[in-house]
């Protein structure tokens, strides 16, 4: 890693002074790192992004394995977590548990609990109970526990509780010193809140605002992919051109971070949304009988109010006020009783 970065410096004619200025640290810190010594994870990330962005994941995973100072390990755990490098995260958790450092042990417990939930070893309720019972006075760690509570209620579709915790956690996150932990934790919160803003609250402009914040934070490809996906969806009904532009950008990032099936499903989703925006509602499409949007399209094609009611019911059960507008309007146009339709939507 260091040899490669030194070669890039030579090829691009970078001086230590120039790099130090760009990443906001001393020349001595740059020299120490390139000479083989360990420095803050955030600084290494900035240096790698500057000199070899195409090798970020490879080099950062390598560096995360090197570090041994507790204050660096917690940042490395967050990096591995947000970049889905779970093997590396497990190594860091095991390393943390070998230290007689109470605060670091608390960090490792929380990240281990989060990892077990992500891998399916424990369910959301077990994760929630574990973190509620854990104790910590560290502000950053307390904030991460709040974020995990948000994940719990998000999974249960209790979005009102997610929003309540978000409002408290956002104030706490603003108090943190600038750095990777702050940016990453805020990106986690913005990811959930951008989805809630769009699908539950039906406020596309607000969803876009938080999605662009995720992109600006630059904490990981999966977060960037999600953010562009939200932005693309937010233009549904407003601009087909912009929707497709941002959809293509999101798919480019999804290709780098997710399986072919995930990318295929996203393509299909936008194909169907384009059918609706282009008013080509009689086109053939790949059907999924469990999908509320597919039920809507089938209901439109067959002029079947029962399919549209089922579509509306599924959208409302998923708390999706944004797309529930489709079957809602179709049913109203058919003359279905307004009070019935509105009562279903208002239950979101």
What pLDDT, on a 0 to 100 scale, did the predictor assign at position 341?
78
Residue ending a domain, choose from 39, 66, 93:
66
The whole-number mean pLDDT for each consecutive block of 10 residues of the chain, a chain of 348 residues, reads 91 91 92 92 93 92 90 93 92 94 92 95 95 84 94 96 95 88 96 97 97 94 96 96 97 92 93 93 80 94 93 94 94 84 76
- Is the domain of 59 the same as that of 79? no
- Is the domain of 32 the same as that of 88? no
Residue 332 lies in a domain: no
CATH at 46? 1.10.260
Rounded to two decimals, the pTM is 0.91
Asked if residue 273 lies in contact with residue 291, where contact means CB atoms within 8 angstroms, the answer is no
- Is the domain of 131 the same as that of 161? yes
Residue 50 lies in a domain: yes
- Is the domain of 52 the same as that of 107? no
What pLDDT, on a 0 to 100 scale, did the predictor assign at position 121?
95
- Is the domain of 49 the same as that of 118? no
Residue 287 lies in a domain: no
What pLDDT, on a 0 to 100 scale, did the predictor assign at position 289?
78
C-alpha closest to that of 230 among 187, 261, 260: 187
What pLDDT, on a 0 to 100 scale, did the predictor assign at position 343?
79
Residue ending a domain, choose from 176, 192, 207:
176
- Domain count for the chain: 2
Q: Enumerate the H helices of the chain as residue ranges.
A: 2-12, 16-23, 27-34, 41-51, 56-66, 70-82, 86-97, 102-119, 124-133, 139-155, 159-174, 180-195, 204-217, 221-234, 240-257, 260-277, 292-302, 305-317, 321-333, 338-346
Q: 129 exposed, middle or buried (CB, 10 Å; 0-12, 13-18, 19+)?
A: middle
Residue 331 lies in a domain: no
Angle formed by the axes of helices 221-234 and 180-195, nearest 10°? 30
Residue 10: give the domain boundaries.
1-66
């Amino acid at each position: 890693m260091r040899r490669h970065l030194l070669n890039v410096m030579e090829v691009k004619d970078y001086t230590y002074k120039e790099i130090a200025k760009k990443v906001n640290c001393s020349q001595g810190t740059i020299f120490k790192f390139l000479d083989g010594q360990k420095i803050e994870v955030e600084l290494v990330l900035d240096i790698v992004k500057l000199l070899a962005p195409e090798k970020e994941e490879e080099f950062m995973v390598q560096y995360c394995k090197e570090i041994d100072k507790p204050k660096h390990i917690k940042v490395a755990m967050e990096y591995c977590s947000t970049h889905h490098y779970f093997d590396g995260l497990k190594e860091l958790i095991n390393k943390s548990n070998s230290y007689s450092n109470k605060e670091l042990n608390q960090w490792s417990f929380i990240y281990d609990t989060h990892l077990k939930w992500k891998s399916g070893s424990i369910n959301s309720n077990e994760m929630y109970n574990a973190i509620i019972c854990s104790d910590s006075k560290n502000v950053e760690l307390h904030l991460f526990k709040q974020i995990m509570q948000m994940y719990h209620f998000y999974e249960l579709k209790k979005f009102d509780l997610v929003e309540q915790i978000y409002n408290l956690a956002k104030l706490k996150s603003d108090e943190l010193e600038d750095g990777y932990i702050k940016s990453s934790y805020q990106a986690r919160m913005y990811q959930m809140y951008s989805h809630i803003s769009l699908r539950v609250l039906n406020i596309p402009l607000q969803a876009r605002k938080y999605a662009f914040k995720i992109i600006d934070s630059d904490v990981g490809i999966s977060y960037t992919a999600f953010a562009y996906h939200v932005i693309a969806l937010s233009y549904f009904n407003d601009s087909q051109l912009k929707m497709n532009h941002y959809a293509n950008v999101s798919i480019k990032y999804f290709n780098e971070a997710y399986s072919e099936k995930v990318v295929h499903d996203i393509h299909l989703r936008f194909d169907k949304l384009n059918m609706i925006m282009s008013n080509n509602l009689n086109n053939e499409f790949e059907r999924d009988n469990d999908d509320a949007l597919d039920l809507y399209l089938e209901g439109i094609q067959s002029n079947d109010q029962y399919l549209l009611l089922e579509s509306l019911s599924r959208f409302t059960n998923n708390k999706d006020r944004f797309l529930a507008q489709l079957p809602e309007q179709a049913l109203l146009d058919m003359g279905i009783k307004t009070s019935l339709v509105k009562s279903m939507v208002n239950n979101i």
